[in-house]
Amino acid sequence: MPYFDAASSAPLHPVARQALQASLDEGWADPARLYREGRRARLLLDAAREAAAEAIGCRPDELTFAPSGTHAVHLAIAGATAGRRRAGSRVVVSAVEHSSVLHGAGEAAVTVPVDRHGRVDAAAFAGELAKGPGGGPGEGTALACLQSANHEVGTEQPVGEVAEACRAAGVPLLVDAAQSLGWGAVPDGWSLLTASAHKWGGPAGVGLLAVRKGVRFAPRGPADERESGRSPGFENLPAIVAAAASLRAVRAEAAGEAVRLRGLVDRIRTRVPEVVPDVEVVGDPVRRLPHLVTFSCLYVDGEALLHELDRAGFSVSSGSSCTSSTLTPSHVLRAMGVLSEGNVRVSLPSGTTASEVERFLDVLPEVVSSVRERLGAPGVGGTVRGVGGQEVGAVGVGSEGPGSEGPGAEGSDSEGSDSEVLVLDALGKLCPIPVIELAKVIEDVRIGGVVRVLSDDEAARLDIPAWCAMRGQEYLGEEEVEGGVGYGVRRVV
């Protein structure tokens, strides 16, 4: 059964397994003790630190082992902002940072937007660094955070350019390198760096935190004498040894494997839009991780799609609101402004074969078609039913139902007073039903007429504009209405 979710957690590398088993026998003692067993454990810990530091590109005494990548991120943000509290409290981040970074920064976060590929503009980032607490010129930025590559769409960020801007502004830069460290070194210029072993094939429960000498850093929270006082508690030495050994191993294999997997991902990026109608491939097509591709399918329930792919033997993940307990689309897809419904992230682990990818491409069209058919998507037929089996389709022309003054309302400035307006009440319907209903009724409106979709589904804010772009229709904007939001769409073709 092909496992295509390496971005979440890569399978344990054989070198990690061997190192873990060996160090369970040799590395169980306290490395802080002076007796024989303790000295042996200390030698293993020091060797692991040196190996990991070499891969990162830092000094061994700059590297701290933490219980997880998330823990390392929180330690980094808390320590760096505390150390620079006199400089200010702002934490400048990209809008697509990992949730651990956004949670760690909290209310101090100031977000820099990204383009539709998910890439931040280095000049815009630099401009934000120069702003003070009130948004005007002046000091006030304690820390900048920028991922090396995005976890959901694989887009690589301009770390080198942003690092130079941070140096000029005198602001330390924290780089989340969790997704990219196994593929190569991060461009120089960072001040702090974090990573997580399970992302490259090491064991879960090992995070890396590197803090350059000279960076102001004041550890927060519980403390003891271990790990330079930055990450308290007894080190999980067998897991640390396995993490360092596997990092060295995957980096030795990275160049060749990156070329091979990039070819397989290119195959997916090219073939999916050819074999599956109404698909948007997202993320930067060139400046991206070699093993990761993300695409979104119109008129598809993301949860049903992932279940069907699982039944077909493929393990993938999604940023779709249809697969989330919060019923809100991924903050990454939202920041990019791309289609969120039916989102699939494919991230290939090392060793993935061309035959496995071809089998995925053979299975995908039938899986998507079957999900669309169950939902009654356009061109398939059948009654459209949403989550829980409810029928949809309450439609009226010039309706005076909920939100009649929103976008697309008769007489509004957005379409002119003589335009035909068809009001589509999709309140209470979940992704992807509002877009399916819109697609079904757009043909009932003459060219130049307007459909006004009433929806309380958070994903509609992304998916309706995305549908308009994919279908060549004009998106008129949104407006608050009673019980939700009204989205105006003018039929152009």
Name all domains of the chain by residue range, CATH numbers in brackets: 14-250 (3.40.640.10), 265-375 (3.90.1150.10), 392-490 (3.30.110.40)
- C-alpha of 486 from chain center: 28
Q: What is the rounded distance in angstroms from the CA atom of residue 112 to the CA atom of residue 105?
A: 14
Residues contacting 341, CB < 8 A, separation 6+: 296, 297, 298, 299, 300, 301, 302, 320, 321, 322, 431, 432, 435, 459, 463
Q: Report the pLDDT value the prediction gives residue 417, as an integer from 0 to 100.
A: 43
pTM above 0.85, yes or no: yes
Residue 166 annotated to the active site: no
Q: What is the rounded distance in angstroms from the CA atom of residue 373 to the CA atom of residue 446?
A: 27
Residue 406 has pLDDT above 90, yes or no: no
Higher pLDDT, 394 or 134: 134
> What residues pair up with 175 in beta bridges, in sequence order?
146, 193
- C-alpha of 8 from chain center: 10
Catalytic residue among 297, 322, 431, 468: 322
Residues contacting 164, CB < 8 A, separation 6+: 189
Q: Report the pLDDT value the prediction gives residue 352, as an integer from 0 to 100.
A: 97
Q: How far apart are the first and last CA of the chain?
A: 44
Q: What is the rounded distance in angstroms from the CA atom of residue 201 to the CA atom of residue 55?
A: 15
Q: How many CB atoms are closer than 10 A to CB 396? A: 13
Residue 400 has pLDDT above 90, yes or no: no
> Confidence class of residue 315 from pLDDT cuts 50, 70 and 90?
very high
Q: What is the rounded distance in angstroms from the CA atom of residue 435 to the CA atom of residue 296?
A: 13
pLDDT tens sequence across 90-148: 999 999 999 999 999 999 999 999 999 999 999 999 999 988 666 555 569 999 999 99
